[in-house]
């Protein structure tokens, strides 16, 4: 055998070996870097149950991850498992036909008492579930207990007037009341959403289905309140946060941070003690006449229909990921709660938030990011961000006009 042939044979054998090994491994793709330890635990649980080798593959940042998934799916190369978003984002994905219908697994999980039908609804499209719950979070206001004490605030505010009073007291005590980052390109929607749903929750829902305009009176009111809050110095400068959304909260510059309670683990990691240094409260509506609402965020893991059909044993992996052990792995490693009713709450804050919601019985709303059509979400949030960097009445008018123009164009094309 000539040298060339030997090299060729060795190369072919290597390629086949590598190819076989690669084919045996199934991927669990994720863009959630801070949760890697928990995601690895889920992959291991799925591997042990199904007999397949499921490995975590991480791609960040989010826009790159979404681009990777879009091109993979368009090229009919769908990963076995991947994290996604619920709401419109899940609707768009399911419309492609690549996601597996997980009805049998959800029926088993509900019968077993792991999850409820309400939780299943978070990942439903046309009545069928297309995701394993990875995270179920309530959007609450985190507050620095030491700052509240120093500012002489007796307890968490229960209505808008008390909230404004608390902000004034914090400001007088030398703190910036609210951490308002614009990090990651998506955070500008946080306060826009909160102030619209605080004005009128129906308008908030209407914005996401095209029935309410982005320059309607309720949105104008939200921008007015938002601008007034900036004028009074309630918010941190988004320029100072950069890409580190929690920096100005954990370093003691600001006293409150409105975000999903999945963030509590990051505060603990940064050195704050849950329940001792920080607590949470539900944001009040802007008026006592308006029903209190809470944003519920749910992140699903989607399973490839093709992968499940090719390897039915993967179903055992799906069951394992929905089990209480997997939920406790997520809770203990990265303090993320996936909603499993038998699982332990990852920390005292998440436990307390469950009670807060149970007692106040607010209207639960899907987060704006997931509820709005994904085709226009980026352009809309950019207009909100422009206001955060220039919170003037003129910019508010311009942002509303831009958003309504984008919104009207989209719904007119439907």
Tokens for 100, please give them.
């597996």
Contacts for 396 with CB less than 8 Å, ≥ 6 apart:
220, 223, 224, 226, 227, 387
Query: In the set 182, 196, 268, 296, which binds another protein (CB under 8 A)?
Result: 182
The region that residue 285 occupies, defined by phi over 0 for left and psi between -120 and 50 for alpha, beta otherwise, is beta
Task: Give CA–CA dist 301/284, Å, rounded.
Answer: 32
Q: Which residues lie below 8 Å from residue 386, measured CB to CB, with a gap of 6+? A: 395, 398, 399, 402
The answer to whether residue 51 forms part of the interface with another protein (CB under 8 A) is no
Point out which span in 40-48, 59-67, 139-147, 155-163 binds another protein (CB under 8 A): 59-67
The answer to the question of residue 92 lying near another protein (CB under 8 A) is yes
Q: Is residue 386 involved in binding another protein (CB under 8 A)?
A: yes
Q: Site size for another protein, by CB under 8 A?
A: 35
d(CA 91, CA 105): 20
Shortest separation between residue 389's beta carbon and another protein, angstroms: 5
Closest approach, Cβ 63 to another protein, in A, equals 4
Q: From residue 147, give the alpha-carbon distance in Å to each of 95, 135, 143, 266, 283.
A: 48, 30, 8, 19, 18
Q: Is 252 in the site for another protein (CB under 8 A)?
A: no
* Separate counts of helices (H) and strands (E) for the chain: 21, 11
Interface residue with another protein among 266, 311, 344, 374 (CB under 8 A) is 374
Which of these ranges, 18-26, 39-47, 60-68, 246-254, lies near another protein under the rule CB under 8 A?
60-68
| Residue 19 CB contacts under 8 Å (≥ 6 apart), including other chains | none
Q: Write down the H helix ranges in 270-334.
A: 305-310, 314-321, 324-334
Q: Indicate the residue among 151 and 380 with the shorter CB distance to another protein.
A: 380
Judge whether 132 and 138 are in contact, CB under 8 Å.
no
Q: Which residues pair with residue 125 across a beta bridge?
A: 128
- Told to check if 403 binds another protein by CB under 8 A, we report no
H-helix or E-strand spanning residue 145: helix 145-150
Q: Which is nearer to another protein, 60 or 287 (CB)?
A: 60
According to CB under 8 A, which one of 60, 70, 116, 401 is a site residue for another protein? Answer: 70
Residue 6 sits in the site that holds another protein (CB under 8 A):
no
Among positions 388, 396, 400, 403, the unique one binding another protein when judged by CB under 8 A: 388
Residue 233 binds another protein, judged by CB under 8 A: no
Q: Identify residues 186-225 at the interface with another protein (CB under 8 A).
A: 188
* 118 touching another protein, by CB under 8 A: no
Question: From the centroid of its chain, how far is CA 356?
Answer: 20
Q: Which stretch binds another protein (CB under 8 A): 114-122, 204-212, 351-359, 380-388?
A: 380-388
Residues that bind another protein (CB under 8 A): 63-64, 66-67, 70-71, 73-74, 92-93, 95-96, 98, 182-183, 185, 188, 237-240, 242-243, 374-375, 378-379, 382-386, 388-390
């Amino acid at each position: 055998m000539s040298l060339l042939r030997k090299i060729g044979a060795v190369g072919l054998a290597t390629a086949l070996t590598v190819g076989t090994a690669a084919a045996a491994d199934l991927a669990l793709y994720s863009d959630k870097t801070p949760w890697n330890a928990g995601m690895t635990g889920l992959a291991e649980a799925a591997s042990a149950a199904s007999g397949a080798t499921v490995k975590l593959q991480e791609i960040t940042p989010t826009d790159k991850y979404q681009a990777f998934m879009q091109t993979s799916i368009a090229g009919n190369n769908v990963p076995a498992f991947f994290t996604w978003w619920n709401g419109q984002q899940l609707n768009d994905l399911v419309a492609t036909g690549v996601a597996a219908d997980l009805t049998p697994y959800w029926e088993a999980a509900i019968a077993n008492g792991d999850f409820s039908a309400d939780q299943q609804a978070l990942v439903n499209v046309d009545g069928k579930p297309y995701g394993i719950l990875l995270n179920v979070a309530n959007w609450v206001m985190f507050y620095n207990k030491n700052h509240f004490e120093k500012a002489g605030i007796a307890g968490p505010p229960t209505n808008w007037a008390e909230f404004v009073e608390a902000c004034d007291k914090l400001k007088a005590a030398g703190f910036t009341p609210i951490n308002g980052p614009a990090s990651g390109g998506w955070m500008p929607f946080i306060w826009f959403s909160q102030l619209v749903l605080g004005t009128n929750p129906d308008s908030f829902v209407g914005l996401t289905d095209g029935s309410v305009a982005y320059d309607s009176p309720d949105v104008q009111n939200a921008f007015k309140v938002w601008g007034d809050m900036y004028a009074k110095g309630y918010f941190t400068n988004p320029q100072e946060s950069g890409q580190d959304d929690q920096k100005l909260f954990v370093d003691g510059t600001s006293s409150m941070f409105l975000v999903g309670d999945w963030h509590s683990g990051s505060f603990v990691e940064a050195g704050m003690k849950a329940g001792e240094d920080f607590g949470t409260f539900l944001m009040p509506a802007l008026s006592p006449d308006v029903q209190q609402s809470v944003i519920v965020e749910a992140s699903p893991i989607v399973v490839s229909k093709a992968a499940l059909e090719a390897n039915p044993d993967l179903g055992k992996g799906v069951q394992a990921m929905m089990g209480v052990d997997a939920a406790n792995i997520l809770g203990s490693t990265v303090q993320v709660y996936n909603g499993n009713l038998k699982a332990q709450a990852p920390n005292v804050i998440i436990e307390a938030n469950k009670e807060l919601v149970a007692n106040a019985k607010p209207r639960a709303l899907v987060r704006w990011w997931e509820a709005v059509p994904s085709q226009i979400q980026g352009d809309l949030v950019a207009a909100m961000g422009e206001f955060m960097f220039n919170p003037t009445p003129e910019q508010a008018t311009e942002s509303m006009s831009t958003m309504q123009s984008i919104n009207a164009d989209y719904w007119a094309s439907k």
